[in-house]
Amino acid sequence: MGQCYPKNQMHGDDSDEHVEFAGGNVHIVTTKESWDQKLSEANKDGKIVLANFSATWCGPCKMMAPFYSELSEKHSSILFLVVDVDELTEMSTSWDIKATPTFFFLRDGQQIDKLVGANKPELQKKITAILDSANPR
């Protein structure tokens, strides 16, 4: 499936192009402090975090954005975050982001699953599996 690899710092003509990654119940994380705060809130509320590491210039990320927003409206027990790899380069490095989009599923701040690439059916499948394991019938 589609994914982008780190772009050099020469952004060319598209540097003013911004994508609407927010919407639904998606929270954009722009600082390490904001990340820590969101993770703390999720832990306190017993929520799973789904962090989408993406970039404004990444075509597959743009394609996933509306779907990600739609998922956030359907699954209120998950905290949906977006991290721009260009804005938070240190954090992207610490999470070892090699391609965008990369989705991390976190419980209590610990990674429980990961998906690299713009694969809508697989993202949906992972969400369903994680929610099923968190709420056995």
Enclosing H/E stretch for 61: helix 59-74
* In the block, residue with structure tokens 């990600």: 68
Residue 125: CA count within 13 A, CB half-sphere: 6
Q: Give catalytic status of residue 4 as yes or no.
A: no
Query: Residue 79: phi, psi to the nearest 5?
Result: -95, 115
Tell me which of 29, 48, 55, 61 is the catalytic residue. 61
Tell me which of 4, 58, 81, 118 is the catalytic residue. 58
Mapping DSSP onto H, E and C, the string for 5-19 reads: CCCCCCCHHHHHCCC
Rounded-to-integer distance, Cα 53 and Cα 115, Å: 10
Residues annotated as part of the active site: 58, 61
